Amino acid sequence: MQAEIEAVYEAVLDGEEQEAATATEAALLAGRSPVEILNEGMIAAMAEVGRLFETGEFFVPEMLIAARAMQAGLTVLKPQLIKADIKSAGRIVLGTVKGDLHDIGKNLVGMMLEGAGFEVIDLGINVPPDRFIEAIRAHQPQILGMSALLTTTIPNMRVTIDAIQAAGLRATVKIVVGGAPVTEAFAQKIGADGYAADASRAVTLAKTLVA
């Protein structure tokens, strides 16, 4: 690995936001390609973060600071990626369902997905079914991700899926769900295409669904 790329990798892995931005700028100035910086620096680092989380060496706080560092580097890199017309790994719409105002988990999933090369459209919190439907029509994502933290709001996942079905859009998008009260069995019961227990598994699932 080139020294400039390794500096990006280490800054993201260590969760150093300013260092990640600085290292990304330095790598560009040194003539490293945006694709190389993205794939070998940022995406590789976030893949290692996911591995360390799954082995119990990293926890949610470490994942979060690494994702923030990646975002800092990505802010520097994005204009160059746009110029180079880099193809994303896939497009994903995310949102917390209607009635639920929690977003920490959703935000972490979004950052991890961006770190894996996906284009993420985040609709925010308290998203009603019609906004999910509008987003599917407008952005034509491969995947729609819904989250909820409350047992009182998870029924709105089924309501949203039913609304997407009624709108004639269900066959156009894979739907994944997650959040503390959500389970694999619940995901299957409401007709979702997948369930992820955490941000690392959400990335793995997304890659599988767009493959």
Q: Which domain holds residue 187?
A: 91-210
Write down the mean pLDDT value for the chain: 93
Q: Which secondary structure element, helix H or strand E, spans residue 178, and what is its range?
A: strand 174-178
150 with 160: CB under 8 angstroms?
no
- Give the per-residue pLDDT at 105: 87
Q: Which of 30-34, 137-141, 187-191 has the lowest mean pLDDT?
A: 30-34
Asked if residue 190 and residue 111 are part of one domain, the reply reads: yes
What is the phi-psi region of residue 104: left when phi exceeds 0, alpha when psi lies from -120 to 50, beta otherwise? alpha
Asked if residue 102 and residue 74 are part of one domain, the reply reads: no
The two tokens of residue 46 are 């976030």
Total domains present in the chain: 2
CATH number at residue 163: 3.40.50.280
CATH number at residue 58: 1.10.1240.10
Confidence of residue 100 (pLDDT cuts 50, 70, 90): very high
Asked if residue 120 and residue 185 are part of one domain, the reply reads: yes
pLDDT of 132 strictly over 80:
yes
Confidence of residue 54 (pLDDT cuts 50, 70, 90): confident
